[in-house]
Amino acid sequence: MRVLHVGKYFAPFAGGIENFMLDLLRACDAEGVVQACLVHQAPGQERLDEETDEQNFEFLERFRRVPTLGQISYAPVSPGFNRAMERMLAEFRPDVLHLHLPNTSAFWALKSRRARAIPWVVHWHSDVVGPGLDAKLKLLYPFYRPFEQALLKRCERIIVTSPPYLESSRALEPWREKCRVIPLGLDPVRLEASSWADAPDWRHSGKLKVLAVGRLSRYKGFDVLMRAAARSSDVEVMIAGEGQEHRRLERLLEKQSGGACGDDVGARIRLVGAVDDAGRNRLLAGCDVFCLPSINRGEAFGLSLLEAMAAGKPAIATRVSGSGMGWVVRDQETGWLVEPGDVDGLAALLRRLASDRAALERAGSRARARFDAEFGIDAVAREVVAVYRGLVSSL
């Protein structure tokens, strides 16, 4: 069976969807699926050449990054993508076309005779508009929606990453009979590094060590975590990532350090910038609990929660209606849920956990057990391959 994946970007671009795609394609290769992958060249990937990609992704029969001229409202501008898709379809001759959305370049499949001759799977990673998503996109969505809905009408199967997201998605509402929930997953090998034995990044051994990882975007709610931690003297927080909110968070930290809440706030709460996989593993190894304080449905799933679970760490997340976070984290079992934006509630929880290490250990053990049972990439890949086989066998 031959499957062509069409995505927005790909590894080593640092993003949850891109990391998931890499793990998924490797795991599907182990299931005997012959695969090709067509994506855009992401910002910062201009120096990657085809020879390097062939060495890194030798499990793929074909791989191509199509050059871009930039982005418009998160959409890559890639005049050559249509031609690249046609060439890949002609040369690779897939049995199934797997489209990862959102991605405007996937719409080229609608006009392709070769694409229309085979079944399509749409992997629905997130809506384009909705509560918590970029308000500017509301103005553009009327132009996007006809192509989105045409793609959903034409495809045979839609993979959605959690039941809450499926139930809340207005875009998917007319097509729910085509939808199947298959969660995101990851390869735990990426988390099992020798550096776990050494975690020098953490300074305060006696405090509750809280880790947050992600792009510094407003919807991530990192300011909520910082405010809550400032009220909890027994807590140390490290936030790893870069993004447009970096300076605003720095100003908040400066204000907290010099204000009435200040004990040693500047030492207890740190913005450590972007980290590579080894650095993330080292931080996970040393933390007591992971926190994803996202405040709205811009957080569709939270792949970083799976990274924490694979490391045997409990997680704190938020009860955002329509997000997969509250489905991934089982409250009082594999972690804890708080209301989005609730500084007082999060501060109270942090203080309680700082004095209850046994609860952290129990939740961490249950989190790893649930990861092994439901979120390992091998099990996820088997479900995806079953979708492929069902489509091919019905032809």
Q: For the chain, which residues make up each domain, given as ranges?
A: 2-187+376-393, 189-375
Mean pLDDT across 117-137: 86
Mean pLDDT across 137-149: 90
pLDDT above 70 coverage of the chain, percent: 94
Mean pLDDT across 225-234: 94
Mean pLDDT across 355-384: 96
Three-state SS letters, 46-115: CCCCHHHHHHHCCCCCEEEEECCCEEECCEEECCCHHHHHHHHHHHHCCCEEEEEECCHHHHHHHHCHHH
The C-alpha atoms of residue 293 and residue 343 are separated, in whole angstroms, by 10
| Alpha-carbon dihedral angle through residues 351, 229, 218, 203, given to the nearest 10 degrees | -120
DSSP string, 317-374: EE--TT-SHHHHS-BTTTEEEE-TT-HHHHHHHHHHHHT-HHHHHHHHHHHHHHIIII
Q: Which fold has domain 2-187+376-393?
A: Rossmann fold (3.40.50)
Report residue 92: phi and psi, to 5°: -85, -30
pLDDT at 288 over 80: yes
Mean pLDDT across 31-37: 97
Tell me what pLDDT residue 93 has.
98
The C-alpha atoms of residue 269 and residue 224 are separated, in whole angstroms, by 12
Which residues touch 390 (CB under 8 Å, ≥6 apart)? 157
Residue 369 tokens, joined: 């057990």
pTM of the model: 0.91
Residue 152 tokens, joined: 């959903």
pLDDT confidence bin for 131, thresholds 50/70/90: low
Weakest-pLDDT range from 41-45, 138-142, 148-152, 256-260: 256-260
- Which comes out higher in pLDDT, residue 291 or 19? 291
pLDDT confidence bin for 2, thresholds 50/70/90: very high
**Three-state secondary-structure class, residue 180:** strand
pLDDT at 19 over 50: yes
- Which comes out higher in pLDDT, residue 277 or 372? 372
Q: What is the CATH number of domain 189-375?
A: 3.40.50.2000
Three-state SS letters, 362-390: HHHHHHHHHHHHHHEHHHHHHHHHHHHHH
Tell me what pLDDT residue 209 has.
96
Which residues touch 267 (CB under 8 Å, ≥6 apart)? 203, 204
Tell me what pLDDT residue 194 has.
45
- Which comes out higher in pLDDT, residue 297 or 124? 124
Which residues touch 228 (CB under 8 Å, ≥6 apart)? 343, 344, 346, 347, 350
Residue 395 tokens, joined: 């032809």
Do the domains spanning 2-187+376-393 and 189-375 agree at the CATH topology level? yes
Weakest-pLDDT range from 125-129, 201-205, 386-390: 201-205
